[in-house]
Amino acid sequence: MKHLYLATALFITLFTTQSFAAQKIKNCGGKSKSEVQKSLNFLHNHIEGIMNNINDLTNGEKRRLRRKVKNVNIKCMDHKPVCKNHSDRGGVERHIFNSAVVICYNRIRNKFGNNAFCKLTDVILHEIGHSASVKKNRGHNNGPNNDRVYRLGLAAEDKCDAKGKDRSIKKNTTK
């Protein structure tokens, strides 16, 4: 019985601490970290309105999105193969327990120029959508990009643009 209690305590510790851990931004230099934080703050403040623009999100998806927007970690990884080897990639959801999303920050900055801030917000929420298990269409990356995950990111970008937030973003100099 003692082993059962220990195993249960270990399981609870391993699988719940991430849910309550502070959100972290890694591998982003000071200026780019500030840009990512501003994008996350925008998402924290507008997630309800953004979700309301996607009329087919389930209640479970909305609940998971609310939680993930507040606690998923962000990693700027332009220097890693996940970004370097995929020229069309803006980001990817990955890592154990869906606790982080990878952002190809400088690629977004370079490709979108004066419209990079709202695109960064789009990509972050799109990848958080994957992390929160929002349903995507089959052929997600090769399809018409009208599934829930894509529409979620686009709704964030539209809201950001409508609020007059779009602009260029600072370069990430962290390697």
Q: Which residue type is seen at 103?
A: I
What is the rounded distance in angstroms from the CA atom of residue 99 to the CA atom of residue 67?
11
Q: For the segment 82-138, what is each residue's pLDDT rounded down to a tens digit?
A: 888 877 778 877 766 667 899 999 999 999 999 999 999 999 999 999 999 998 766
8-state DSSP, 27 = S
Cβ neighbour number for residue 76 with a 10 Å cutoff: 25
Question: What's the alpha-carbon Rg for the chain, to the nearest Å?
Answer: 17
pTM of the model: 0.83
